Amino acid sequence: MGQEQNTTRLRKWKQLSERERYQIEDYLQAGLTPIEVSKRMGRDRRTIEREIVRGSVVQLDSELREYIKYCADAGQRIHDERGSNKGRPLKIGHDHKLAGHIEKKIGEEKYSPDAVIGEIKAKGLQFEVSICTKTLYNYIDANIFLNITNKDLPVKKDGKKRKYRKTGAVALNNLKGRSIEERPTEIESREEPKHWEMDCVVGKGTACLLVMTERTSRKELIFKLKAKKQECVIKVLDGLERQYKGRFKEMFKSITMDNGCEFLNHEALEISCLRVGQKRTICYYAHPYSAWERGSNEVANKLIRRFVPKGTNIGHLAKADIRRIEHWMNNYPRRIFGYRTANEIFAA
C-alpha cells in the first residue's frame, strides 16, 4: 500500500512512546518529510515537528563539519527528564482565601493543622477547595505557604505510640495521701463530670502556674502562684470556694494530682474554709513517675507551653496574659469532641 492509500486514523492526544521515536528516526533517515511521517504514523503534523525539534542534536561528519540530526534516544531522554520534574498540581490551587485562613489560624492563633481542618468541617466554613490534614502537613513541609513554616507547628509526632504500664510504686514522701488506686471507676472512666486534675507549670524564677483540668470536658482553669508552695495552692482553692460558695463541692468533686511538695498537705486542700470541719473536695494522688495517670493535665501543660516556653519568667506574666491563654485553651477545637471546644462540652 502506497502513502496515498494510507488509511490510519488520527488518534486522540497521547504522548509518543520510545518505539515511536525510533520509527520517526528511521523515517527521517529514509528521507520522509514531517508531513509524510505524520501520515504514516497516524500522528498530527505538529506533534512530529515538535518532537524533531526536541530530539535534534548537533553531530560531526567525517570531515568534522557540524550537522543537525534527530536522535530518538535524545528525545526520549528529554521526555523522561521533563516527566520527572512534573508533579500533581496543588489542590489548594488559587484559593487565596483558604490559604489566608490557614496562615492566620496556625501563625497567629497557634492552631495545629488538624484543628484548622477540623474546625472548617465542623463549622461548615465554605472555600473553593477542601484539603485534608495530611495534605496540609505536606504543603507546610514543602514550604508552599508564605507566612508559616514547620517552626509554627506544635511538636510533630513520629507515629509511634508510647507504651504505658501501671506501676505499684509508693510515694515515700506522701504515705498519708489517698492513692489514685482508691479512685472510683466512674471517675476513672470519665462518666461523671466535675472531677479535676491539677499540676504546676514552672519557668524561670519562683513564680509558676497552677493548672486545673476538668477530666470530662477538658475545661481549664489557670492561676498564677507567687511560689510553688503549699500555702499558695491552698489560697487558690480557698478563693475558688469563696467564689462558688455552696456550689464548690458540686463543681470540684475531686482533684487528682502528683506527689509534688506543693500538693502534700491534702488535709488543708480538702477542708472547707467556709464551713468548719467539713470537706469541700476529695484529693487523689497519682503514682510516682506516672504522669500518664493525669493525661488530660499533661496535654494541657503542653498546650500552655505554646505560649509559655520553658525558661519564661512567669513572674512577668500579667493577669490578662493568663486569662488570654485560658480563653484560648477553652475555645480550642478538639478532635476528641468532634472539633467542639471545652467550653461547649462543659456547658452541655
Which CATH number is 80's domain given? 1.10.10
State the pLDDT confidence band at 173, using cuts at 50, 70 and 90.
confident
Number of domains in the chain: 3
> CA dist 259 to 95, 101, 177, 273, 341, Å?
52, 43, 9, 23, 30
Decide if 262 is inside a domain.
Answer: yes
331 and 186 belong to one structural domain: yes
How far is CA 140 from its chain centroid?
10
E strands, the chain, in order: 56-60, 66-70, 195-202, 208-214, 220-225, 254-257, 282-285
- Give the mean pLDDT of 250-258: 96
Q: How many angstroms separate the CA atoms of 252 and 242, rounded?
A: 13
Mean pLDDT of the chain: 90
Nearest to 197 by CA among 171, 183, 333, 328: 183
58 and 17 belong to one structural domain: yes
> Which of 34, 55, 85 is the endpoint of a domain?
85
Cα torsion angle, 41, 42, 43, 44, sign:
positive
Decide if 170 is inside a domain.
Answer: no
Decide if 190 is inside a domain.
Answer: yes
Q: Which residue has the cell 462543659?
A: 346
Q: Do residues 224 and 322 lie in contact, with contact meaning Cβ atoms separated by under 8 Å?
A: yes
Three-state SS for 287?
coil
State the pLDDT confidence band at 215, using cuts at 50, 70 and 90.
very high
| Strand 195-202 to 208-214 pairing | antiparallel
Q: How many angstroms separate the CA atoms of 236 and 304, rounded?
A: 19
> Above 80 in pLDDT, residue 259?
yes
Other CB atoms closer than 10 Å to residue 6's CB: what's the count? 13
State the pLDDT confidence band at 162, using cuts at 50, 70 and 90.
low
Beta bridge mates, 222: 211
200 and 299 belong to one structural domain: yes
61 and 210 belong to one structural domain: no
pLDDT of residue 169: 73
> Which of 66, 85, 104 is the endpoint of a domain?
85
85-94, 108-117, 193-202, 243-252: lowest mean pLDDT where?
85-94
327 and 220 belong to one structural domain: yes
Decide if 158 is inside a domain.
Answer: no
Cβ neighbors of 227 (< 8 A, separation 6 or more) are 206, 207, 208
State the pLDDT confidence band at 92, using cuts at 50, 70 and 90.
confident
Structural domain for 201, as ranges? 180-347
As a dihedral over the C-alpha atoms of residue 33, residue 39, residue 44, residue 45, rounded to 10 degrees, the angle is 20
Q: Do residues 167 and 289 lie in contact, with contact meaning Cβ atoms separated by under 8 Å?
A: yes
How far is CA 272 from its chain centroid?
42
Q: Do residues 193 and 217 lie in contact, with contact meaning Cβ atoms separated by under 8 Å?
A: yes
> Above 60 in pLDDT, residue 159?
no
Decide if 174 is inside a domain.
Answer: no
